[in-house]
Structure 1
Amino acid sequence: MATRHITKAPRMGTKALYLPNFRIVLLNDPKLSPHFASFLVPLNLNKLDLRDYLYNCYGIPVRSVRSYIQMQKVQQDKNNAKRVSPRRWHRPRSIKKMMVEMDDPFVWPKTPEDFSQWDKDFVEKREKANKKARDAQGPGGASKPPAERKSIAEQAKELLEGKKEWRRDDNEYEDEIVEEDADGEWEEVEQNVKI
């Protein structure tokens, strides 16, 4: 009797695949030589990890690695705190930077002159508006007068010293006279209209 050979389908996903669960940031430092690259790395990453990461992911052979940990300045209250609590001192987490010496030079690409593809104007306006809103919500933000107008005290001082004379702004308060039409209906007539 002939025996039948049964072949099994190969199992999928048997090979171990390790993906990094950290973020490495390449810093643009114009003072560095093209043979050096500076990185912002997590605190638990060591020199051998960075060397292996660059070689296995990007095929970059590394000659040497230098690392240092930079302590942050002491701040009053935490950055993302919803309620500001004065007199609570906090030191943000330290930053670890590594500098790598490479065999092949790496030159950063030139920054483009036309940023219309990325809508840079809109992004800058949004950042200004966000900064203005953050400043208004921050400590003492409600007590600060808006930056668009002078304070009332400065205006009063200028009036008292005679640098400026008191006058009403005609653009802000336009004179309006109401007249009766021939039909007996009232209509508004503007004065001081510039044509």
Structure 2
Amino acid sequence: MPRGAIPTRVLPKLSSLQQRPTVKVFRKPKKSNEQVAADEKDSGTIYRRGAPLFNAKRIIEGSGAASTQSIRKLKADPFDQSWRKDVSEDVLQFVDDMEVQGTKLLPEELLQLIRDPAKYFSRPQHVPECLRQQVYFPNFSVCIKRNKHLSPYYAQFQVPLWFNKLDLKAYLKDLYNVDTVHIRSWVTHVRPVRQDVLNKFSLAAYKQSPAKKEMIAQLVDPFVWPVAPEDIDRTPFSTQQFQDVAKVQEDESKKTSDLFNSMLDRKHRKSIATQAQEMLQGKIAWGPTWQQLAETRRAMAGAADTLPPSHSPPPPPAAPKRTQESGISR
């Protein structure tokens, strides 16, 4: 072998039994436009010649599937090509293109395709990336802020920290077709906040919130904010109902708390003060408590012989029992 030559590996020659058999491709004859229109009118399909097949959002009914006999032959022999006579041209073109690109379909994938092409192409994972319609969504947000002190030719935005002036200029131009003359940016740092400690022996920790970046863009055309509505009907939102429920929950939580139990009942004290004021003014007459109850008053006046059960005195306690052996009372 001469110097500098690249060694090559000699591949063994396959025998006649090991060689792959020659496959004869069967293609369906092309139909004219009149025949296609007549077939579509009879079948009621929505497929049109030249329509994109690789659309994961639409079920295509014009792609013909293979017969049951062809599917059985393909299961028995993976190199069988009799199914090519049954499927439509778009399916054949897809299979050939995948083989040319070096991503040949597996036997299981080929069976799924020829059984129901519309169902196969309705799933995005079956469509190659080169034939998909790529959609890119932004992973950030640009918030416009209402500033009354700015001129209509200036707009203030809150942007991510990595956003620069060229990004904002391209963002406004590409999405909203807004031209800018000048952009000014600044970063506002947030003051660290001390967190509450669990006890007096633990060290205090400080929490640093992320900084905020804002920009002011000078616009070519003025932008005027719409007038904010003053009279907003909040009836559909039931704000009063939510406020009443929150107040009731707050009162109940206060009653069950330990701090509230240790405090005096202010409502009861106010009611006593109100009754005393009315008594001094002569609006109500003072009387003993027993006179306020009808049955007790009749018994105390001698009209009744016995007190009601609620006011009868309790029975006397029972005498202690003594045992005969020890004589100790128990």
Give the TM bin, normalised by the shorter chain. Answer: 0.5 to 0.7
% same residue: 24
3-state SS, counterpart of residue 99 of structure 1? strand
Distance 1:2 1:109, change over 3 A: closer
Alignment counterpart, residue 215 of structure 2, candidates 90, 98, 123: 98
- How far is 1:67 from its partner? 1.1
3-state SS, counterpart of residue 293 of structure 2? strand
Structure number having the greater strand percentage? 1
* Aligned mates of 1:113, 1:120 — CA distance in 2: 16
3-state SS, counterpart of residue 157 of structure 2? strand
- How far is 1:2 from its partner? 8.6
Structure 2 match to 1:20: 138
Unaligned runs of 5+ in 1: 78-83, 137-141, 146-150, 153-166, 187-195
For residue 228 of structure 2, what is the amino acid of its counterpart? T
3-state SS, counterpart of residue 40 of structure 1? strand
How many correspondences in the alignment?
146
Q: Which structure has the bigger radius of gyration?
A: 2
* Aligned mates of 2:238, 2:228 — CA distance in 1: 16
Distance 1:109 1:103, change over 3 A: same
For residue 85 of structure 1, what is the amino acid of its counterpart? V
Alignment counterpart, residue 34 of structure 1, candidates 131, 152, 168: 152
* Aligned mates of 2:237, 2:27 — CA distance in 1: 75
Structure 2 match to 1:168: 272
CA RMSD of aligned residues (A): 4.3
- How far is 1:8 from its partner? 7.6
Structure 2 match to 1:10: 53
Please state if 1:85 is matched with 2:85. no
Structure number having the greater helix percentage? 2
Please state if 1:116 is matched with 2:159. no
After superposing on structure 2, the runs of 4+ consecutive aligned residues of structure 1 that deviate more than 6 Å are: 118-121, 142-145
Structure 1 match to 2:295: 180
Stretch deviating more after TM superposition (8-17 or 29-38): 8-17
Unaligned runs of 5+ in 2: 1-25, 31-48, 57-131, 199-203, 265-270, 276-285, 299-303, 309-330
Higher relative contact order (CA closer than 8 Å, sequence separation 6+): 1
For residue 49 of structure 1, what is the amino acid of its counterpart? D
TM norm structure 1: 0.57
